[in-house]
Amino acid sequence: MANLGAALYVEGDRTGALHWWNRAWEAGNVTAGFNLGTLHAQAGDTNRAQVVWERAAAQGDPDAMLGLVKQALERGDLATVERWSSVIKAQQEAFPITALGVALRDHGREAEAVSAFVRAEELGDAYAMEYRARILDARGAHQKAAGLRARAATAERMT
């Protein structure tokens, strides 16, 4: 059901995607919950997106957690940002942690972004190393940035 929803979404059939993601979500598919929340967010229904993402996040979905962080950043809800950021950074998967760092950076929360990038670097993510190297360059720490880029050149690119 979730895959059918995804296929319909790619084909531009949002109504069909909504139907099948709803069914898959009701059947317990957490990824469908994230996708359903995303569809609601894209339609401008942030309240519905938040409700679905909160349930999916409570079941451990890091993408839903990231969706909640992004919404919270938009509204300036720092308690929610901290709540889900700490859960995301505690995981062993680098991609959502790096994505968290990017979201924080894009909202002017550089120190928190650096913290996320460092955590993703600990998991070996080259993208996080490159993002942090850019911050170091902007701060004038060119030598440290170059060293980090050298590490990134041999590290894995997490997806």
Residue 157 lies in a domain: yes
Same domain, 89 and 153: yes
d(CA 42, CA 18): 12
Mean local confidence (pLDDT), 28-33:
94
| 83-95 pLDDT, tens digit each | 999 999 999 999 9
pTM check: above 0.85 = yes
Each residue's pLDDT tens digit, 46-64: 999 999 999 999 999 999 9
Residue-number span of the structural domain to which 32 is assigned: 1-59
Per-residue pLDDT at 101 exceeds 70: yes
95-109: average pLDDT: 97
Clarify whether residues 35 and 89 are in a common domain.
no
Band (156; pLDDT cuts 50, 70, 90): confident
CA–CA distance, 128 with 100 (Å, rounded to integer): 10
Q: Does the pLDDT at position 27 exceed 70?
A: yes
Instruction: Look at residue 158 in the predicted model and tell me its pLDDT.
Output: 64
Same domain, 51 and 101: no
CATH number at residue 146: 1.25.40
Measured between alpha carbons, how far is 64 from 58 in angstroms, rounded to an integer? 9
| Domains identified in the chain, total number | 2
Residue 109 maps to a domain:
yes
What dihedral do alpha carbons 148, 150, 151, 155 form, nearest 10°? Answer: 130
> Both 96 and 138 in a single domain?
yes
CATH code, domain with 40: 1.25.40.10
Looking at per-residue pLDDT, the higher value among 74 and 156 belongs to 74
**Which among 59, 89, 107 is the end of a domain?**
59
What pLDDT score does 143 carry? 97
